[in-house]
């Protein structure tokens, strides 16, 4: 059983992440749905997907009655717990998008994602959302010979696709080390298309902006099933011709949806605020987000109060797509993250890790994010961002707005619109397959460290991830 936190005090949610812990003021829980109601659009899930959708819809047509139903509180899910990379990363590669949707589809998606980062910044300004938005770009370090080769390959592939040095720049060892004062830096890449944010302040601020635009958010209201023309919740039925599924990693909680998106956990740690002397060495002076070229994803940011927030995959997928509060903390994975961080920045060896947390993100069977609206049923959806949802949710929200209002726009012709992924296999196949893929990433890194070169594991991983 998935357990929702049930407390009348919103303060309990502060345990969810560093970001929740830092939210200013007291945390009030919004009232739940009080029995049956009607709306023009019902949105299930008050994370970034649901809230961006409500925000743009309410802005485009202030007469619309929009009801957002949320099982816990706005920002409870991945949106309030993530690494705060508001990036142009999209989980399906450009080559794959071209293959599936025709030449030029990948480039169109890239441009849409790049402008999405700027669009999030624009709304943050316009709505006075104090989320520490810092458009410092991303540095990805190469720290082994194999990683350096991967960096060269990535830059060459980018050039072949017409991406110039303004979009992705090769960094020499000294340039990379000047940006990120980590160990063993041999080079890297820099892209300007990313901003560091405090995700909880972003999503909670967006919820308030949505309410200012006249939409209603019902918290503590769990949907049980999405039907044609209605959402069945534990607190009553919301009748609406359009129903938006915006539950991402939690989609398994809805009737009939257990095989739609697999919840895979990403975990994070954060240090205490670090002294200026540390930052003089570590750099990240524009709050660039950072990672390196290992397979098992890691990601970091310098927070606006001078902490290191650092995360990575590596937690197992749980049988039956289970989601439980205790999965947010995994001693072994959190300790590996601390070791990885100290390996990058040995000066942090004695530093206190003040926060450890995590949460599920959604992955479709083909690792292909999608957004769409089925006109026959009025059922709309977005999700499967594979851990790159902070900005993609904004693109999803604008796209759903256009689809719902029957506008044919550049956004509605992007290659992820209307994409249908197969369902995941039933258990135990799902458990075996996903965990084998996760283990492959870790073992590919270890094999590279051992042999000093890319192995069959690295190539196999490329195929698992869909290329
Ligand atoms: C630890 C971690 C780090 C990450 N780092 C990054 C990053 O740095 N950059 C990036 O781009 N992406 C990152 N991601 C992914 C990103 O956070 C997600 O892709 C994004 O937040 C998804 O937003 P969402 O609104 O679709 O889903 P969520 O934010 O998960 O929202 C879903 C909402 O639905 C609610 N819900 C669930 N079931 C029901 C129900 N039955 N009825 C009603 N409501 C329900 C949940 O309570 C939740 O509030 C990370 C994710 C995690 C977990």
pLDDT digits (tens, 9 = 90+) for 28-56: 999 999 999 999 999 999 999 999 999 99
Indicate the pLDDT class of residue 466, thresholds 50, 70 and 90. Answer: very low
Q: What percent of the chain has pLDDT over 70?
A: 95
Inter-CA distances, 168 with 138, 164, 291, Å: 10, 6, 15
Task: Please give the full DSSP string across 104-146, using - where no structure is assigned.
Answer: THHHHHHHHHHHHHHHHHHHHHHTT--S--B---EEEEE-SHH
Half-sphere exposure of 26 (CA within 13 A, CB side): 5
Q: Which residues pair with 371 in a beta bridge?
A: 382, 417
Ligand 1, atom 25, residue with closest C-alpha? 47
Give the separation between CA 183 and CA 375, rounded to whole angstroms.
54
Indicate the pLDDT class of residue 450, thresholds 50, 70 and 90. Answer: confident
pLDDT confidence of residue 1 = 36
Ligand 1, atom 20, residue with closest C-alpha? 389
CA 397 – ligand 1 centroid, Å? 14
- Report the pLDDT averaged over residues 91-99: 95
pLDDT confidence of residue 459 = 56
Q: Which of the residue ranges 140-149, 313-322, 386-395, 421-430 would you say has the lowest mean pLDDT?
A: 313-322
pLDDT confidence of residue 460 = 56
Asked if residue 122 has pLDDT above 50, the reply is yes
Q: Which atom of ligand 1 is nearest to the CA of 223?
A: 42
Ligand 1, atom 2, residue with closest C-alpha? 82
Q: Please, what is the end-to-end C-alpha distance for the chain in angstroms?
A: 35
pLDDT confidence of residue 458 = 58
Q: Which of 10, 67, 78 to mutate to test the pocket of ligand 1 (most atoms within 8 A of CB)?
A: 78
- Nearest-10 crossing angle of helices 105-126, 392-404: 100
- Report the pLDDT averaged over residues 279-308: 95
Q: From 418, 332, 430, 434, select the one nearest 372 (Cα to Cα).
A: 418
Q: Are 390 and 293 in contact (CB under 8 A)?
A: no
pTM of the model: 0.95
All residues at 6 or more sequence positions from 105 whose CB lies less than 8 Å from its CB, including other chains = 97, 98, 414, 415
- Report the pLDDT averaged over residues 438-464: 68
Indicate the pLDDT class of residue 83, thresholds 50, 70 and 90. Answer: very high
Beta-carbon count within 10 A of 407 CB = 11
Pairing of strands 298-302, 370-374: unpaired
Indicate the pLDDT class of residue 9, thresholds 50, 70 and 90. Answer: confident
Beta-carbon count within 10 A of 463 CB = 8
- Report the pLDDT averaged over residues 362-373: 97
366-381 b/e with 16+ CB inside 10 Å = b? bbbbbbbbeeeebbbb
pLDDT confidence of residue 424 = 96
pLDDT single digits (tens) 145-160: 999 999 999 999 999 9
Asked if residue 214 has pLDDT above 90, the reply is yes
- Report the pLDDT averaged over residues 242-256: 97
All residues at 6 or more sequence positions from 11 whose CB lies less than 8 Å from its CB, including other chains = 26, 27
pLDDT confidence of residue 317 = 93
The residue whose two tokens read 């206190």 is: 352
Q: Are 195 and 122 in contact (CB under 8 A)?
A: no
**What value does the mean pLDDT of the chain take?**
94
Pocket of ligand 1 (CB under 6 A): 44-50, 69-72, 76-79, 81-85, 87, 222-223, 246-250, 253-254, 266, 268, 299, 311, 358-359, 361, 383, 385, 387-390, 393
Q: Which atom of ligand 1 is nearest to the CA of 203?
A: 29
Ligand 1, atom 32, residue with closest C-alpha? 247
pLDDT single digits (tens) 189-200: 999 999 999 999
Indicate the pLDDT class of residue 294, thresholds 50, 70 and 90. Answer: confident
Asked if residue 3 has pLDDT above 50, the reply is no
Q: Which two tokens stand for residue 384?
A: 């499967």
Ligand 1, atom 50, residue with closest C-alpha? 82
């Amino acid at each position: 059983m998935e357990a929702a936190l049930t407390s009348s005090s919103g303060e309990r949610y502060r345990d969810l992440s560093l970001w929740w812990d830092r939210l200013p003021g007291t945390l009030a829980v919004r009232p739940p749905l009080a029995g049956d109601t009607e709306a023009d659009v019902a949105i299930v899930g008050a994370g970034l997907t649901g809230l961006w959708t409500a925000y743009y819809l309410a802005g485009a047509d202030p007469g619309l009655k929009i009801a957002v139903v949320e099982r816990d509180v706005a920002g409870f899910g991945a949106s309030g717990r993530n690494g705060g990379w508001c990036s142009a990363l999209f989980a399906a590669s450009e080559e794959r998008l071209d293959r599936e949707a025709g030449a030029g589809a990948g480039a169109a998606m890239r441009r849409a994602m790049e402008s999405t980062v700027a669009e999030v910044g624009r709304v943050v300004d316009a709505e006075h959302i104090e989320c520490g938005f810092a458009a410092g770009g991303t540095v990805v370090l190469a720290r082994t010979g194999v990683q350096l080769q991967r960096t060269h390959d990535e830059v060459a592939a980018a050039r072949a696709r017409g991406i110039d040095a303004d979009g992705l720049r090769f960094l020499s060892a000294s340039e990379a080390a000047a940006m990120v004062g980590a160990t063993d830096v041999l080079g890297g890449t820099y892209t300007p298309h990313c901003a560091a944010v405090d995700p909880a302040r972003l999503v909670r601020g967006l919820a308030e902006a949505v309410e200012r635009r006249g939409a209603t958010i019902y918290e503590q209201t769990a949907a049980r099933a999405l039907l044609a023309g209605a959402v069945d919740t534990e607190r009553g039925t919301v009748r609406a011709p359009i129903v938006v599924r915006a539950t991402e990693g939690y989609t398994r909680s809805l009737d009939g949806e257990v095989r739609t998106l697999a919840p895979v956990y990403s975990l994070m740690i954060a240090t205490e605020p670090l002294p200026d002397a540390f930052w003089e060495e570590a750099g990240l002076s524009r709050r660039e987000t950072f990672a390196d070229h290992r397979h098992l994803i890691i990601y970091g940011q310098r927070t606006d109060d001078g902490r290191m927030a650092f995360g990575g995959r590596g937690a197992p997928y749980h049988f039956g797509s289970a989601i439980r509060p205790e999965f947010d903390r995994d001693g072994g994975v959190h300790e590996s993250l601390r070791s990885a961080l100290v390996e990058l920045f040995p000066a942090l060896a004695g530093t206190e890790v003040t926060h450890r947390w995590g949460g599920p993100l959604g992955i479709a069977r083909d690792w292909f994010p999608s957004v769409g609206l089925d006109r026959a049923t009025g059922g709309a959806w977005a999700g499967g961002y594979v851990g790159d949802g902070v900005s993609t949710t904004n693109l999803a929200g604008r796209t759903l707005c256009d689809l719902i209002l029957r506008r044919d726009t550049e956004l509605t012709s992007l290659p992820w619109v209307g994409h249908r992924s197969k369902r995941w296999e039933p258990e135990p196949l799902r458990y075996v397959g996903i965990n084998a893929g996760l283990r492959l990433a870790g073992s590919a890194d270890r094999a590279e460290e051992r042999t000093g070169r890319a192995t069959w594991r690295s190539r196999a991983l490329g195929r698992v991830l869909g290329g």
